[in-house]
Structure 1
Amino acid sequence: KKSAVNTSIDLANWMGNLDESKRNTSINFIAIPGSHDSMTYGISRSSQISPDAEDIVKELAKCLNPFVKLIMYGWSVTQSKAVSKQLYMGIRYFDLRVATKEGNPNFYFVHGMYANNIDPALSSIAEFLDAHIKESVILDFQHFYSFNYSDHQRLIDILIKIFGDKLCPRPSDVRSVTLNWMMENNNQVIIIYRNSFARTEPFLWPSNLWPTPWPNTMNVSVLTQYLKEHLAKRPQNTGFVSQCVLTPQTSTVTHNFFSNVRSKCAIPVSRTIIPWIQQQSPPLNVAIADFVEMNNANFPLTVISLNYS
């Protein structure tokens, strides 16, 4: 059955406004909207090519730099709203890819091109959480590029400095973590750290506690089938991410040089995937999408509405 989309939800406070039974439900069975490549709104047409870009792009950029960047820009940006706006739209899961930059001590968000220094965005998340004490977020550090041992140490120090006591310790069983339990312990931030470094700190959750299978397709019906099959067999004792996104292949870009993720990926997905989400009840956990603000934040509204069905 289709659940109705509840358009009266207060998106800035939706977790705090859930009824008690939901707030005492394991966090891996709450429907939580997230953004894919959350920080790419910080990429501009003049941004540098980043270490995660494909080798061919790096080579081409050496001789055709402005042209390559113009094309890359359209295919690197998957979000247009700053993280503070995303939070007010109900987004509570953030997909993060981080890199170093030569001759520069800062860390940057990346997706083919460099976005912003990580500190201001992470600080704005902390500020939002200070003002909304019943809300929690999941920060998923998916990839680390041009990182060595001491870079991981430095990044972890930054996370401790910004979030401090808000950091939720890694549980022995994810099912023991509920929104109420987190609030009682003043924990508002779950950090998934997809690197073996996760074992070094009690507040880093390793990759296996929150699987995120990657559909890697440009075909909407293949995507829908993939999401169905993986959701049906998801583990019950971990979190789970459903990636409601199309992935541009090299041929997509070469046939559509001056197009972009919004028109070729996000719009086709929203037409098909929103109705599919409406038919789920949790086992859907985290669902992520590109351009989460589209159609008056219809994506986060649809996901959050599942918690009322």
Structure 2
Amino acid sequence: MAMSKQGKRRREVTSYCDWMSQLPPELHNRSLFMLAIPGSHDSMSYDLDINSSILEPARLKILSKICCARRTVNRWAVTQEETIAKQLDAGVRYFDMRIARKPNDTNPTRLFFYHGLYTRTDVETVLKVIHDWAEKHPKEIIILALSHFKEMEERLHIHLIKFIKTLFGARLFLNTEVPTLKICWDKGRNIIVSYDYPAIHHIELWSKITYFYGNSMDPTKVESVLRQALEKSRPSNCFFVCGLNLTLPEDVRILRYILRLCDNLKKVIQRSLPRLLQWVKEQAARTPVNIVASDLVTRDDFVPSIIKLNIHKS
């Protein structure tokens, strides 16, 4: 009995900053497609610029010059509270990063992230932060999902990809091999970049990662859609995301939410996340999960709960 308890303690992750290196040895040769990996949805939304123009929803674009409209969008667009570095320290290893170019920017190649509004910090600055963190934590595999490119001409894709390849260099895991922890460690490659732009083909870049989400503000509907996707549509030989995030309506129904003066998306998420997290624990016992992404990833024991799903697999 004492030996059993000691073995169990050895399997527990004690530092979420370096949790991958603490996984049981029997998981080191397992495909990353089969591990449970905590991820953040709209990862850069903590950095939204209240003074920027509105990108979405489309119905509010014409109100960009009105401060209260921008503030309303901001209240319902912020899904994360901590910086990328702090999310990494907390154990997040997948990042949903949506990129756009600001109109009339004096810098012809500068890009920003966005979610409703543009971010204050540009793309290259944030990628450098991730690079520096990856250097200090060589056994932690980071997955970057770059997508939703707005106002980006071909030349900007070429510039961004060149920057990514130069910055991360030999740390980029190529799309020609199935990643496992051991292979990544042996090769010294701990950055995987998914680039959702079909016209681009580079062995250093991975194609779009399937993202399942409920497309609803109702946790019951989110659970139902995700359950069906995990039971019928999940892939077995590539990354896929189970998104616990809530989604605002794109039609006039959005007014039911954004006109609530004393509410915001973070409060709604905080009320629903414990329930969704309990659901994914129960669902993972029936169907495999891979990346599990959420809003407010540093709250409600999200990261530890997802990582523990791996211990149950070993």
TM over 0.5: yes
Structure 2 portions without partners, runs of 5+: 1-7
Q: Tell me the TM-score normalised to structure 1 length.
A: 0.89
TM-score by length of 2: 0.88
Distance in 2 separating the partners of 1:76 and 1:258: 15
Deviations 1:155-184 (A, max 9, x none): 111212221111111126xxx321111111
Q: Highest relative contact order (Cα 8 Å, sep 6+), 1 or 2?
A: 1
Give the corresponding residue for 2:212: 213
Partner SS state of residue 96, structure 1: strand
Q: Which amino acid aligns with 1:22?
A: L
Aligned to 1:204: 205
- Residue 140 (structure 2) aligns with: 135
For 1:102-156, what per-residue CA distance to the aligned partner results, in whole angstroms no more than 9, with x for missing partners?
Answer: 2333110101101121122211111111111111100001210001100100111
Report SS of the residue matched to 1:198. coil
Alignment of 1:211-250 (within 5 A): 211-233=210-232, 234-249=234-249, 250=254
- The secondary structure found in structure 2 opposite 1:142 is strand
1:37 Cα deviation (Å)?
0.2
Q: Secondary structure at the match of 2:213?
A: coil
Among candidates 114, 118, 131, match of residue 114 of structure 1 = 118
Q: Is the Cα contact below 8 Å between 1:40 and 1:76 reproduced in 2?
A: yes
1:37 is matched with which residue? 42
Contact 2:212 / 2:241 at 8 angstroms: preserved in 1?
Answer: yes
1:243-301: CA deviation from partner (whole Å, max 9, x where unpaired): 1011122234344245211112x123312112122221471100111111113xx1011
Residue ranges of structure 1 left out of the alignment (5+ in a row): none
1:185–1:7 Cα change, 3 Å? closer
Residue aligning to 1:79:
80
When residues 7 and 183 of structure 1 are mapped into structure 2, their CA distance, relative to the original with a 3 A threshold, is closer
Distance in 1 of aligned mates of 2:222 and 2:57: 24
Partner residue, 2:296: 291
CA distance in 2, matches of 1:121, 1:204: 18
1:10 maps to amino acid: S
Identity of aligned residues (%): 27
- 1:1-309 pair list within 5 angstroms: 9-44=14-49, 46-51=50-55, 53-62=56-65, 65-104=66-105, 105=107, 106-115=110-119, 116-171=121-176, 176-199=178-201, 201-207=202-208, 210-233=209-232, 234-249=234-249, 250-264=254-268, 266-279=269-282, 280-281=284-285, 283-295=288-300, 298-309=301-312
Name the SS of the counterpart of 1:101 in structure 2: coil
Q: Distance in 1 between matches of 2:184 and 2:311?
A: 21
How many residues in Structure 1 have an aligned counterpart in Structure 2? 292
Matches of 2:180 and 2:12 in 1, distance apart? 25
Alpha-carbon distance in 1 for matches of 2:149, 2:214: 21
Q: Is the 8 A contact 2:213 2:225 kept in 1?
A: no
Larger Rg: 2
